Chains A and B, each alone.
Chain A
Amino acid sequence: MPRKSGKPEREAKKPPVRIKINGQWHEFEPGRDIAPEMTLSFLLREKLGYTGLKVACDEGACGACTVLMDGKAVLSCMKLAVEADGHEILTIEGLPEDDPVIQAFAKQCEPGYGTALQCGFCTPGFVMTAKALLNENPKPTAGEIKEGLSGNICRCGCYSGIARAVLHASEGSAPKGGKP
């Protein structure tokens, strides 16, 4: 919260930028903690250490930096940190490990579709995009999953497994298969 001060208004410090991250409000002092040109991805990764999100293309083409803002997927490399002022951000670190989407990605091994991840670099972005999709549309069709996740790139190419994992997450059903 801005501190009270006897100084005239124009000389007062700019109010801090307040962002709720994974359930907790953070305050950032303009000029010291946050700059006008700073991206949300930079703030989250480099300043706060939320390394689950990845910066892979840094131009909004791959979705690896996806986080949720007020429940909707945003590309954190294309968003200025100050645009998140007053909003609620959820990164993958804010999800419990038993989150159904995380579990579905981890367990996918249904024959014919491969796994839902290989190198794992794009995975947090896909998981967060899938979370946003299921927030809006809890029972998506195969076509809606394809459309909803088409802003993300998986260079290992696990699209079949990912689509399957999202379908299973929406159905609340874990795929068959042995334990890791």
Chain B
Amino acid sequence: MTPPRPYTPRVARKFIGGYRPRIDALEKAAGKVEFVDDLTLKSRFPGMLYAKVMRSPYAHARIKSIDASEAEKLPGVKAVITCKDPEVSSLKPTSAGWTDGVDTVSYERMMWGHFRDRRVLGDHACWATDEVGAVVAAESEQTAEEALRLIKVEWEVLPFVLDPLEAMKPGAPVIHPEIAPRNILPKDVVGGADVFVDKGDTDKAFARAEVVVEAKAVHHNATQASLDNWCCLVDWKSDKLTVMSNSFEADQSRMHISQMLGLPINKVRVISSYVGGQFGRGDTGDQPFFLFTALLSKKTGRPVKFRHTRRESFHDSRQPAIYTAKVGAKKDGTITSMYFKSIGNSGAYADHTMFALKFAPTEITEAALAHIPNVRMESYGVYTNKLPACMMRGVGNSQFNLIFGQVVDMLAEKLGMDPIDLALKNFGHEWGGLPDKSLSAVLREGAERIGWRAKRHKPGAGPVYDRVKKRGVGFSFHPAWHAEWQEARRGEIRIRITLNPDCSVVLDAPTVETGTGSNTCNVLGCAEALGFLGIGPGDIVWPHTVDTETSLKDCVQTDSAVSYLQSEVVARAAREVKKRILEKAARLMKAAPEDLDAADGRVYRKAAPGKGMTVRDVFRLGDMLPIVVEMGRPPNSEKTGVPYIANFAEVEVDTGTGRVQVLKLVVLNDCGTVMYASGAEAQQIGGQVMGLGEALTEEIIYDEATGVPLNFNWIDYKIATMADMPEIEPALLEVWRGAGEYGACGIGEGTLTCTPRAVLNAVYNAIGARIDDIPVKPEKVLRALGKV
């Protein structure tokens, strides 16, 4: 083990940037935190019923007739609603892609309004286990399940297709003919046309290129696998509906329910408590289960709880994509032309397919490919009868990095260059020159920490260990996200500081506590900004629960950016708090406010710092009213570019069995400013469980003959445990700087974006044979080696 090397902050601060425990560490370690499934025990809601929804046994089918009469007679069943009933059949068609969570949107303004392909409870099953037909509310979950089995359904079984390339062919089964007559999603306003980036003249540049490489990289469905399954309790009493859930976006959940059920916004109350892992799950603004659970509550007059089983939790996943690429360069390593084409498997519903395939790569083009004169990107989202893919940590970036890091590695080899030099020669961002300081810092630091010079060798030409084992090193890099200017769409970020007469503080900077560490950042930021009060993080009460009836609008846990977005506003609001204190003190001290200042809990005359009074006395002798400052501010739009992230991997490949063992990972993030070092390291280390899982073991497997997913459980879907993880070295850097008080950049999602490609490049370095698709299972290694 390499001894840890803590980072040195660029600017020394009292609280921000420190190595310290999380603010919620003790309550979580002691098991005292209550998640929604805990808060909605039947003992707390004695009249509560449980909802269950029917799921399709077929990959593609329609309900011809449905008869629920036997289910209704079952003792304990309180309500059955079928797709033929007007309360659901009258609901508008919808999409699970209302918003990427950044902004709250209405039905009309939903992000992917072109693809309203979902019915809340329809008769068209588009994949095996799709929610269709009927929902039941019963006294217990077992009774509800039994009732579902008693519902007689006559199915019209339809032909299905799982592979997007097959689905694009003429004559393939068509999933949503009204939206995509050939299964290929049409052009839309957000994602753009099929060719969505076309800069310069790539064809001409390829013709003139001295070196050209072509590559393919296939990214698969992985699932977020939050331990805390989706859960909600809906209580619809007279004209008011209250929802408790583990949604990570309370304000958007309220908008969604209000719009879909036609209720005034103030008649919908959404309460989100702690969430046991988010990772992009439900980054949709739309989950039909909220709606049918609400309708069951209305029908029965009782609170109704719906929760996913572990099997059902697999309904959220990463968008799979087949990428191909071509890159042209001069002999000196100057890249002249890049072309990327992707075919995404949307699965049964479009959802955020085009976010992954087009929106994210457009952002990457702006950031990383700004200095490449000719760039063309082309993409097709394709409907199939597979699991509809959703947002997942690093949406679009993970898929893109798998091909991006590959072509850099391949081109460097063909040119006889070190890939680090090739990267520095070509990639930066639109608002800066080359070489990019941030990219240079992460790559040099990573190279040093992994032992690049000593360990990197010609592909497959390194030493052999234990007669059959070969080692290699590799890396991948990517522009980080999001800097503040990239968050403009959020609109105003609102916070409120209440300073009480005893100098205790209530901070209302609402954001759902999903574990990311941003609430700790907020409290540290508040303590930092109110430093003149002489208080610390322990004096600040923070909002553990977001409640749309009492909280300000929540800053949604997306884009990895909440760690600093609210703190930037808090820093400004704190200046206003100080101004108000000085005004109060000025009256008591018979001075002009501008002649006063405050530090360490005291107000003093600038001219005579020894003379003054404590802030507590300002309250005690004054009006005793708390100072309340509420502030809303849109993100700073100053274009500062973005920093870089990278992962370096060392692997050992057993050429006899095909097993890949990762020996070490170095995870590098240029954060701009480290807001909370222990939390940032936890993200860097923690992201590798998902990143290595996607690279080596995690994969959803289907039965090709029936289209039925086979491993919707945690026995057969392999998530890494402690015993599976290699040594991980987190490296925090502060090189780039954004706008504002801190000028930080998000890091959470990016920690795993480069992991699969770093591992694959290391595998290539070890064995000298390329593997195009992940996860890298032993059979793929043996095939690449020509052994099977």
Within 8 A of B (CB), among A21-51: 45-47, 49, 51
Contact B30 A106 (CB under 8 A): yes
B247 CB within 8 Å of chain A: no
**Nearest-Cβ distance from residue B540 to partner chain A, whole angstroms:** 11
A173 CB within 8 Å of chain B: no
Q: Which residues of A contact B229 (CB under 8 A)?
A: 56
Q: Give 25 CB contacts A-B under 8 Å.
A: A52-B32, A54-B276, A56-B229, A57-B713, A61-B714, A64-B227, A103-B29, A113-B681, A115-B517, A117-B28, A117-B29, A118-B679, A119-B278, A120-B29, A120-B274, A121-B35, A123-B28, A149-B722, A150-B721, A153-B227, A156-B682, A158-B682, A160-B685, A179-B20, A179-B536
Q: Which residues of A contact B27 (CB under 8 A)?
A: 120
Query: Given A119-B274, A160-B728, are A155 and B719 also a contact pair (CB < 8 Å)?
Result: yes
A93 CB within 8 Å of chain B: yes
Q: How far is the CA of A105 from the CA of B24 in the complex (A)?
A: 11
Q: How far is the CA of A124 from the CA of B29 in the complex (A)?
A: 6
Contact B277 A152 (CB under 8 A): no
Contact A177 B20 (CB under 8 A): yes
A170 CB within 8 Å of chain B: no
Q: How far is the CA of A151 from the CA of B687 in the complex (A)?
A: 19
A59 CB within 8 Å of chain B: yes
Chain A, residues 54-80, CB within 8 Å of chain B (1/0): the string is 111111011010000000000000000
Q: Which residue of B lies closest to A92 (CB)?
A: B31
B275 CB within 8 Å of chain A: yes
B6 CB within 8 Å of chain A: yes
Q: Which residue of A lies closest to B536 (CB)?
A: A179
**Nearest-Cβ distance from residue B677 to partner chain A, whole angstroms:** 7
Q: How far is the CA of A49 from the CA of B37 in the complex (A)?
A: 11
Q: How far is the CA of A97 from the CA of B29 in the complex (A)?
A: 9
Contact B721 A152 (CB under 8 A): yes
11 new A-B contacts, CB < 8 A, other than A110-B19, A115-B681, are A46-B41, A49-B41, A97-B26, A102-B26, A115-B679, A121-B226, A121-B276, A155-B689, A155-B690, A155-B719, A180-B21
Query: Given A56-B229, A147-B723, A151-B721, are A178 and B514 also a contact pair (CB < 8 Å)?
Result: no
Q: Which residue of A lies closest to B42 (CB)?
A: A46
Q: How far is the CA of A130 from the CA of B323 in the complex (A)?
A: 44
Query: Given A151-B721, A155-B226, A156-B277, are A59 and B25 also a contact pair (CB < 8 Å)?
Result: no
Q: Which residue of A lies closest to B3 (CB)?
A: A112
Contact B725 A114 (CB under 8 A): no
Q: How far is the CA of A24 from the CA of B681 in the complex (A)?
A: 41
Contact A180 B227 (CB under 8 A): no
Contact A159 B725 (CB under 8 A): yes
B114 CB within 8 Å of chain A: no
Query: Given A113-B681, A152-B722, are A178 and B18 also a contact pair (CB < 8 Å)?
Result: yes
Contact B515 A156 (CB under 8 A): yes
Within 8 A of A (CB), among B702-760: 713-715, 719, 721-725, 728-730
Q: How far is the CA of A45 from the CA of B729 in the complex (A)?
A: 38
Chain A, residues 152-170, CB within 8 Å of chain B (1/0): the string is 1111111111110000000
Q: Which residues of A contact B25 (CB under 8 A)?
A: 105-108, 115-117, 180
**Nearest-Cβ distance from residue B686 to partner chain A, whole angstroms:** 3
Most buried by B among A55, A58, A146, A157: A157
Within 8 A of A (CB), among B661-693: 677-679, 681-690
Contact B686 A114 (CB under 8 A): yes
Query: Given A59-B713, A115-B21, A178-B20, are A52 and B31 also a contact pair (CB < 8 Å)?
Result: yes
B33 CB within 8 Å of chain A: yes
**Nearest-Cβ distance from residue B525 to partner chain A, whole angstroms:** 15
Contact B228 A121 (CB under 8 A): yes
**Nearest-Cβ distance from residue A76 to partner chain B, whole angstroms:** 13
B22 CB within 8 Å of chain A: yes
Contact A58 B6 (CB under 8 A): no
**Nearest-Cβ distance from residue B274 to partner chain A, whole angstroms:** 7
A12 CB within 8 Å of chain B: no
Contact A119 B682 (CB under 8 A): no
Q: How far is the CA of A180 from the CA of B6 in the complex (A)?
A: 19
Contact B21 A119 (CB under 8 A): no
Contact A112 B725 (CB under 8 A): no
B335 CB within 8 Å of chain A: no
Contact A158 B20 (CB under 8 A): no
Q: Which residue of B lies closest to A150 (CB)?
A: B723
Q: Which residue of A lies closest to B224 (CB)?
A: A155
Q: Which residue of B lies closest to A54 (CB)?
A: B227
Query: Given A57-B714, A64-B227, are A154 and B276 also a contact pair (CB < 8 Å)?
Result: no
Query: Given A97-B30, A111-B677, are A159 and B41 also a contact pair (CB < 8 Å)?
Result: no
- Give the interface of A toward B (CB within 8 A): 45-47, 49, 51-59, 61-62, 64, 91-93, 95, 97, 102-103, 105-124, 127, 145-147, 149-163, 177-180
**Nearest-Cβ distance from residue A82 to partner chain B, whole angstroms:** 18
Contact B515 A179 (CB under 8 A): no
**Nearest-Cβ distance from residue A125 to partner chain B, whole angstroms:** 9
**Nearest-Cβ distance from residue A23 to partner chain B, whole angstroms:** 16
Which of B32, B33, B688, B714 contacts A157 (CB under 8 A)? B688
Q: Which residues of B contact A97 (CB under 8 A)?
A: 26, 30
**Nearest-Cβ distance from residue B588 to partner chain A, whole angstroms:** 33
Contact B30 A180 (CB under 8 A): no
Q: Which residues of B contact A115 (CB under 8 A)?
A: 21-22, 25, 517, 678-679, 681-682
**Nearest-Cβ distance from residue A3 to partner chain B, whole angstroms:** 27
**Nearest-Cβ distance from residue B696 to partner chain A, whole angstroms:** 14
Q: Which residues of B contact A46 (CB under 8 A)?
A: 41-43
Contact A95 B21 (CB under 8 A): no
B382 CB within 8 Å of chain A: no
Q: How far is the CA of A123 from the CA of B27 in the complex (A)?
A: 10
Q: Which residues of B contact A107 (CB under 8 A)?
A: 21, 25
Contact A111 B28 (CB under 8 A): no
**Nearest-Cβ distance from residue A64 to partner chain B, whole angstroms:** 6
Contact A179 B19 (CB under 8 A): no
Contact A157 B690 (CB under 8 A): yes
Q: Which residues of B contact A155 (CB under 8 A)?
A: 224-227, 277, 279, 689-690, 719
Most buried by A among B18, B20, B29, B42: B29
B310 CB within 8 Å of chain A: yes
Q: Which residue of B lies closest to A121 (CB)?
A: B276
Which 4 A-B residue pairings sit nearest by Cβ, starting from the closest?
A: A112-B4, A119-B515, A121-B276, A120-B28
Query: Given A105-B29, A114-B678, are A121 and B227 also a contact pair (CB < 8 Å)?
Result: yes
Query: Given A120-B33, A120-B276, A158-B685, are A109 and B23 also a contact pair (CB < 8 Å)?
Result: no
**Nearest-Cβ distance from residue B713 to partner chain A, whole angstroms:** 6
Q: How far is the CA of A105 from the CA of B690 in the complex (A)?
A: 22
**Nearest-Cβ distance from residue A180 to partner chain B, whole angstroms:** 5
Q: How far is the CA of A106 from the CA of B30 in the complex (A)?
A: 8
Q: Which residues of A contact B729 (CB under 8 A)?
A: 112
B34 CB within 8 Å of chain A: yes
Q: Which residue of A lies closest to B278 (CB)?
A: A119
**Nearest-Cβ distance from residue B720 to partner chain A, whole angstroms:** 8
Within 8 A of A (CB), among B604-629: none
**Nearest-Cβ distance from residue A160 to partner chain B, whole angstroms:** 5
B5 CB within 8 Å of chain A: yes
Q: Which residue of A lies closest to B21 (CB)?
A: A180
Within 8 A of A (CB), among B498-539: 514-517, 536-538
Contact A118 B719 (CB under 8 A): no
Q: How far is the CA of A160 from the CA of B537 in the complex (A)?
A: 26
Q: Which residues of B contact A116 (CB under 8 A)?
A: 25, 29
B65 CB within 8 Å of chain A: no
Query: Given A111-B19, A115-B25, A180-B537, are A153 and B723 also a contact pair (CB < 8 Å)?
Result: no
Which of A53, A61, A111 contacts B713 (CB under 8 A)? A61
Contact A156 B30 (CB under 8 A): no
**Nearest-Cβ distance from residue B204 to partner chain A, whole angstroms:** 46
Q: Which residues of B contact A110 (CB under 8 A)?
A: 4, 19
Q: How far is the CA of A158 from the CA of B679 in the complex (A)?
A: 10
Which of A53, A114, A149 contacts B682 (CB under 8 A)? A114
Q: How far is the CA of A92 from the CA of B227 in the complex (A)?
A: 18
**Nearest-Cβ distance from residue B655 to partner chain A, whole angstroms:** 26
Query: Given A106-B29, A118-B515, A153-B227, are A180 and B682 also a contact pair (CB < 8 Å)?
Result: no
